Structure formats: structure tokens, C-alpha cells
């Protein structure tokens, strides 16, 4: 369905097939068909195995270990960025399977998947995104479905154990349909590629694609929809969670550790404000900014690691300038700078402190001079 949605949005299937040939796998072909799903048109992509490949796959039911996938990816002539993403996706899949079956990572087998099918699904999706120029992926909450599914291990409740493991810390729901709506492969692709889950971010849609599933349901279209576009905005407007708690009875040494752990968990920002509490006791207001799907983790960490016995939170909108990083050559050496822009009129350049600090130590030049030099070089438009 991922591949179908990308092809429907304009990724040429012929070009995807051409790049897929850089993987050392054979015995398959891709078919493209326009179908209707509950009165909606969508593109269905099928991976059709040759009779010899199907026979070989049946004989090697126990042969799809990590080393097999690792060997195939390593031997491919795909671009390095696609290899890295593919490795990450398959590692997530094998880690989930190993955990739910109680096996070692290198011993676990992907019983439910054909190696060829899975490789084509994963790398076909990565190639399609690359061809369409997609730089960031955002996803809605994931529909798990319901009921049960038959596997090599017997009948399992939906979501399948591996799907549930993969989707830890991801917003999910069930539409109530009595069948599997998200497979382990689909789950790991979406989780590995998505920057954030939740509402559609503010952007300008330019292409829309719909990928069809095999089942044609009567009351809703069984499709995966993709919107592709660009921000084309002077700034990014997004929704975040703000968590706050007031503390007046904790050893100040602990704050540094708590802040460090909050950032490790994915906090966007953490700061403290000195406040006067009841009976004029001096205290600290600890504030955390985070994506909404990480809010519960942040609250649990605060309650576990501080003396707080309660927090408050609210949703807020924030506007951020578009940011990118680049490396600049200064007379002291190379420095990475963060470049933030707001439309065509506002541009800010901030040198990376740690790199400037190291250059200052090596050269003996004042840190201020090195940071200013990096900023000036970074301000030059190229």
C-alpha cells in the first residue's frame, strides 16, 4: 500500500524497478493496476514471484535471518543513504520479532514474510520517496484493526505481537474492523520513516496518492493516502505540549540530571524559572516543551525523578523559523552553522558552540572571534 500510494502520487514504477535491480535479488516482477476501493480510485501494486522463486521460498522457510538480509543489502549498489534507511527498518523488524519470540537477534526468523517481498516493499518505498523528493514524513495515528490473524505460530490477536512491539510509543487506534489493518512490515516502515505522528502539519499539498489494499471493504475505502507538498511558509506553525510543575523541596543537584534525561527522551526544550510559592518559599517552576505523543513519557519521568507529586500540561502553538545546517570554512578551520530563515527578509546564522570552542583551544584565538568569523562566513548566501 505504501508503494501503491507513492506510484499513485507520481513516482514512476519503471524507475523504481530499475533502481530495485541494484539489489541482488531475482525471481519477481511488479504489477500496477487501477482499482476501486469503496468507490475511491487507488493504485494497487503487487509483487509477483516466479514459480521457481515461490518454490525456493517454501523450501527456505527457516532461512530469512538477519545475516541473509544484511548480506543482500551490503552487496547491493544502492546509494548509501538508501542502504542506511533500509538497515534501520530491517533492524527494527528483527528486534521486534526477537523480543516477542524470545530469541536472539541473529537467530530469529521472519516466518510471516518472504525475503523478496519484504525487500521489495521496503526498498521500493524508500526509492519512491527519494524519486518524489520527500525529505520528511509525518503520519496519522496507526489503525490496528481487530479480531485475530492466522500465523505460523497459530491464531494471534490483532495487532500481531511483532506489530504491537514495533508500535511502542506510537499513537494507535482500532477502527473496529475484525481483521488486521497494519502488518509488522507496514508498522516498521511507518515508524522508522515518520518524524512525528498526529495532526497533518501546516503545508501546501501538491500531489496526492492512494495505495490500495487487497480487501475491498463496504463501509470505508481500504486505502493508504499520501499527501506530498512543501511548506512554502515563512515559518513552521505546529502544536506542542507544555508541561509544568512547581518544586520547592528538592536537592538542586538533581535538576541537572533530570534535564539531561528529559532531553534524552526527546524534549524540545527544558527550562527552570525561579518562583515564590506559598508562605513565600523560594521554588523552581520546571517547564518542558515536547511533541504531544511524548507527553506521557515526560510526565512519568518528572514524577519518577523529582519530588513533584503532580504536574499540569496544556497544548500550545509555536512558530519556528525553517532551519538547516551547513559546514563553512573559516580561517581557523571548519565549523558547522545553523541557518534559520523567515521568508526572504530574515536570516540568522548560529555557529555550533562546541566546534568553535575546540578551534579556540587549538588556535589560542578568542572564542568570540571564532564564533563571529563563522557567523560572517555563514551569512554569505551560496
DSSP class per residue in 269-338: EEEEEEEE-GGG-EEEEEEEEE-GGGHHHHHHHHHHHSS-S--EEEEEEEEE-EEEEEEEEETTEEEEEE
Task: Kindly state whether residues 254 and 286 are assigned to the same domain.
Answer: yes
Write out pLDDT tens, residues 43-90.
999 999 887 665 555 544 445 789 999 999 999 999 999 999 999 999
Decide which of 230, 256, 273 is a domain's last residue.
230
Task: Kindly state whether residues 94 and 198 are assigned to the same domain.
Answer: yes
**Phi (first) and psi of residue 227, to 5 degrees:** -110, 130
Task: Kindly state whether residues 99 and 243 are assigned to the same domain.
Answer: no
Give the cell for residue 77: 549498489
Decide which of 293, 319, 345 is a domain's last residue.
319
Decide which of 209, 230, 251 is a domain's last residue.
230
* pTM for the whole structure: 0.63
Task: Kindly state whether residues 77 and 207 are assigned to the same domain.
Answer: yes
pLDDT at 107 > cutoff 60: yes
Residue ranges making up the domain that contains 331 = 322-379
Q: How far apart are CA 335 and CA 349, in angstroms?
A: 12
Q: Strands 142-143 and 172-173: what pairing?
A: parallel
Please report, for residues 42, 79, 115, the alpha-carbon distance to residue 83 in angstroms, rounded to integers and kept in the order given: 29, 6, 16
Give the cell for residue 272: 527552570
Task: Kindly state whether residues 327 and 190 are assigned to the same domain.
Answer: no
Please tell me the total number of residues recorded for the chain in this structure: 382
For position 5, what pLDDT does the model report? 97
Domain with residue 246: its CATH number is 3.30.70.1380
Question: Which residues 6+ apart lie within 8 Å of 345 measured at CB?
Answer: none
Give the cell for residue 132: 518524489
Q: How many domains does the chain have?
A: 3
Question: Which 3 state secondary structure label does DSSP give 27?
Answer: coil
Write out pLDDT tens, residues 362-381.
999 999 999 999 999 988 86
Task: Kindly state whether residues 225 and 374 are assigned to the same domain.
Answer: no
- What is the CA angle 350-293-239, rounded to 5? 55
Task: Kindly state whether residues 225 and 261 are assigned to the same domain.
Answer: no
For position 59, what pLDDT does the model report? 47
Single out the residue of 253, 252, 257, 284 nearest to residue 271, CA to CA: 284
Q: How far apart are CA 28 and CA 13, in angstroms?
A: 14
Amino acid at each position: 500500500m505504501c508503494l501503491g500510494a507513492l506510484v499513485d502520487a507520481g513516482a514512476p514504477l519503471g524507475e523504481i524497478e530499475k533502481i530495485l535491480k541494484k539489489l541482488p535479488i531475482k525471481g519477481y516482477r511488479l504489477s500496477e493496476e487501477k482499482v476501486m476501493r469503496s468507490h475511491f480510485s487507488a493504485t494497487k501494486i503487487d509483487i509477483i514471484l516466479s514459480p521457481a522463486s515461490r518454490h525456493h521460498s517454501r523450501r527456505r522457510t527457516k532461512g530469512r535471518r538477519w545475516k541473509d538480509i544484511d548480506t543482500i543489502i551490503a552487496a547491493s549498489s544502492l546509494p548509501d543513504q538508501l542502504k542506511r534507511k533500509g538497515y534501520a527498518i530491517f533492524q527494527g523488524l528483527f528486534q521486534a520479532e526477537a523480543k516477542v519470540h524470545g530469541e536472539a537477534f541473529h537467530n530469529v526468523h521472519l516466518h510471516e514474510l518472504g525475503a523478496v517481498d519484504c525487500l521489495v516493499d521496503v526498498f521500493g518505498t524508500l526509492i519512491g520517496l527519494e524519486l518524489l523528493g520527500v525529505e520528511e514524513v509525518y503520519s496519522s495515528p496507526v489503525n490496528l484493526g481487530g479480531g485475530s490473524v492466522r500465523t505460523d505460530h497459530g491464531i494471534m490477536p490483532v495487532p500481531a505481537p511483532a506489530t504491537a512491539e514495533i508500535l511502542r510509543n506510537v499513537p494507535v487506534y482500532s477502527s473496529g474492523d475484525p481483521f488486521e489493518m497494519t502488518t509488522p512490515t507496514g508498522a516498521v516502515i511507518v515508524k522508522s520513516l515518520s518524524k512525528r505522528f498526529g495532526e497533518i502539519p501546516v503545508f501546501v499539498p501538491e500531489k496526492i496518492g492512494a495505495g490500495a489494499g487487497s480487501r475491498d471493504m463496504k463501509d470505508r475505502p481500504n486505502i493508504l493516502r499520501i499527501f506530498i507538498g512543501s511548506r512554502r511558509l515563512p515559518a513552521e506553525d505546529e502544536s506542542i505540549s507544555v508541561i509544568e510543575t512547581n518544586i520547592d523541596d528538592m536537592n538542586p543537584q538533581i535538576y541537572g540530571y533530570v534535564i539531561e534525561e528529559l532531553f534524552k527522551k526527546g524534549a524540545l526544550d527544558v527550562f527552570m524559572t525561579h518562583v515564590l510559592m506559598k508562605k513565600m518559599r523560594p521554588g523552581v517552576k520546571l517547564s518542558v516543551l515536547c511533541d504531544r505523543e511524548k507527553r506521557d513519557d515526560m510526565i512519568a519521568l518528572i514524577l519518577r525523578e523529582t519530588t513533584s507529586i503532580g504536574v499540569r500540561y496544556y497544548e500550545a502553538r509555536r512558530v519556528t523559523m525553517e532551519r538547516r545546517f551547513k559546514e563553512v570554512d573559516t580561517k581557523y578551520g571548519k565549523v558547522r552553522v545553523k541557518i534559520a530563515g523567515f521568508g526572504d527578509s530574515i536570516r540568522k546564522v548560529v555557529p555550533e558552540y562546541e566546534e568553535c570552542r575546540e578551534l579556540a583551544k587549538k588556535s589560542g584565538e578568542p572564542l568570540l572571534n571564532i564564533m563571529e568569523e563563522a557567523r560572517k562566513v555563514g551569512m554569505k548566501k551560496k
